[in-house]
Amino acid sequence: MKLAIRGDLLDFSATPTWGSTALDGVRWRPDHWLLVEQGRIAGALPGEQPPGEDWQREDQSGRLLMPGFIDTHVHCPQIDVIASYGTGLLDWLDTYTFPAERRFADPAVAAAGSALFLDALLAHGSTAAVVFPTVHKVSAQALFEAATQRGMRIVAGKVLMDRHAPDGLRDDVAGAEADCEDLIRQWHGQGRNAYAVTVRFAATSTHEQLAMAGRLLARHPGLFMQTHVAENTDEVKWIASLFPEARSYLDVYHRNGLLGERSVLAHGIWLDTHDRALLRDSGAQIAFCPTSNLFLGSGLFDWQAAIDVGHRVTMASDVGGGTSLSMLRTLAEGYKVQALRGTRLSAWSALHAATRGAAEALGLAGEIGSFDPGSTGDLVAWDWAQGTVAGHRDSVARGAVRDLAEQSLHARVFAWITLGDERNVAATWVAGRPLWRRPA
C-alpha cells in the first residue's frame, strides 16, 4: 500500500498565465520519488533520498511522471467508427454513429465495448473521463460496471434522445426519466462514479424531454450535465428552426435549467459574446475537441474569446468524431487550431486544461488532476521521446546538442506534446494500482 515511483514530476499548483511560457503555476520536480500511500498522493522526495524499506519502489528514472489526463468529452461506443470517411456532423451521425450505437442495446456488446474503451483510455494515458454511452440503459450500466472494476473516475449517463434518431435509438420522456432515476440511485456517488444528465444535443430531444432533464438536475443536486453545443453551422441553423423562441443554441439549454457548474458542453465553436458570458456566469465549461473539429470540418474554436470573457475551457478527444484518444495528439491539434486563429497555445495552458484545470472545472480538484497531497494516485509514466526524430529533438531541448541547445523546459515539453502520442505511455496507475503497462 506504500508505493514510491521515481521520475521527472510535472504538474500544476495554479493556473499558468495565458499566452506565457513562464513557469508560473508549473510544478517541476526533476528526478523525484512520488509517494503514493493507500492509493493517495502522500508527497515527494528528491531522487537521492529514497523512502524507507517499507515502501515498494519503482524506478521510472528518465521518464516524465504526470497526473493522468482528464478527457472531458468522449463517446464510448464510437471506437467502432473512429476514422470514418467523408461527412460533416449531421451526415456523420446518420451514416456512421447511429448504426454503431444501436449495437449497444445488446448487454454483451455494451460490456465488451465498455471494457475495450476504458482499457484504451488507460493505454493512452487518460485516467478520468466524461463519457457518452448510448440511449440504452444497459450501455450506461455496462460503462459504470467496467469503470468500477478499474476504480476509474468516470462521469456518464444514459443518453437522452426522443426524436430525430432512427428506430432502436429513441427513448420517451417517461421511460427515460425512470431509467435515469434508477441509474442515479444505483451509481451516482458510488465509488468514483458520477451521473451526468446526458442530452445528446438539442435537436434529438423534444421540449418535454429537455424540461425533464432540467427537473432531474433540480431534483438531484450534485449531478453533472453533458451535451453538445454549436459545433457546426448547419446544426446551429437547424436548432434555430426547432427552437424559434430561444435567443441562441446555448439559450435552449439555459431555458431548461441545464447550465450550471457541473455542465460540460462539447465544442462551442459558433457562440457569441452573450453566450460566452452565460457560460461564465453559470460556471459551465466548453470541452474543446480539436481533432474532431478539424476532422469533421466543424470550425475553429476561439479560445482567446473564452479567456477574454472568462469562461472555463477543458480538453477532449471526442472520439469517434475525434481521431485519437491520445490527449497529446489532442493538445497538439489544439495548438494548430489556435495558430489558425492567430493565437499561440502554450504547453502549460494546454496541459493545465487537460489536468488540474479540468479537475477544477468539474469540481473534482483535490481528487484528480494534480499531485497535491491527498489526491488519488492516478498517474502516468511517459517516455520523453519515441523514435529517432523525437529523440533528437528532445536532445536539443535538453541542451545536449552543441550549438542548438535550448535548455528551456517549455521547449522540451512543447516538443513532447507535439511529437508524442500513446506510444510514449510506459505505464498507467489508477489509485496507485498499475492498470496498464506497455508490453515489453
The binding site for Zn ion (CB under 5 A) comprises 266, 318
The answer to whether the CB of 368 falls within 8 A of the CB of 127 is yes
Nearer to Zn ion, 4 or 130 (CB): 130
Map grid coordinates 451509481 to a residue.
187
Task: For residue 327, give the nearest of 421, 401, 434, 216 by alpha carbon.
Answer: 421
The answer to whether the CB of 206 falls within 8 A of the CB of 163 is yes
Nearer to Zn ion, 266 or 417 (CB): 266
Nearer to Zn ion, 318 or 372 (CB): 318
Least distance from C-beta 398 to Zn ion, angstroms?
38
| Euclidean distance between CA atoms 328 and 415, whole angstroms | 10
Nearer to Zn ion, 275 or 318 (CB): 318
Nearer to Zn ion, 318 or 367 (CB): 318
Dihedral (CA of 367, 369, 374, 377) sign? positive
3-state SS track over 150-204: HCCEEEECCEECCCCCCCCCCCCHHHHHHHHHHHHHHHCCCCCEEEEEEECCHHH
The C-alpha angle with vertex 300 and arms to 294 and 301, in degrees rounded to 5, equals 120
Least distance from C-beta 319 to Zn ion, angstroms?
9
Nearer to Zn ion, 131 or 266 (CB): 266
Least distance from C-beta 330 to Zn ion, angstroms?
13
Task: For residue 259, give the nearest of 238, 232, 279 by alpha carbon.
Answer: 279
Least distance from C-beta 161 to Zn ion, angstroms?
13
Distance of CA 397 to the CA centre of its chain: 28
Residue number closest to Zn ion, CB atom: 318
Least distance from C-beta 279 to Zn ion, angstroms?
17
Least distance from C-beta 186 to Zn ion, angstroms?
25
Nearer to Zn ion, 5 or 131 (CB): 131
Cα separation values, 253 from 9, 209, 213, 308, 344, Å: 40, 12, 10, 23, 31
Least distance from C-beta 268 to Zn ion, angstroms?
12
**Residue 66: beta bridge partners?**
380
Give me the helices (H) in 96-172, please. 98-102, 107-123, 137-150
Task: For residue 383, give the nearest of 423, 413, 424 by alpha carbon.
Answer: 424
Nearer to Zn ion, 93 or 385 (CB): 93
Nearer to Zn ion, 198 or 375 (CB): 198
Least distance from C-beta 132 to Zn ion, angstroms?
6
Least distance from C-beta 325 to Zn ion, angstroms?
13
Phi, psi of 44 (to 5 degrees): -150, 150
Task: For residue 324, give the nearest of 300, 357, 294 by alpha carbon.
Answer: 294
Task: For residue 358, give the nearest of 332, 331, 337 by alpha carbon.
Answer: 331
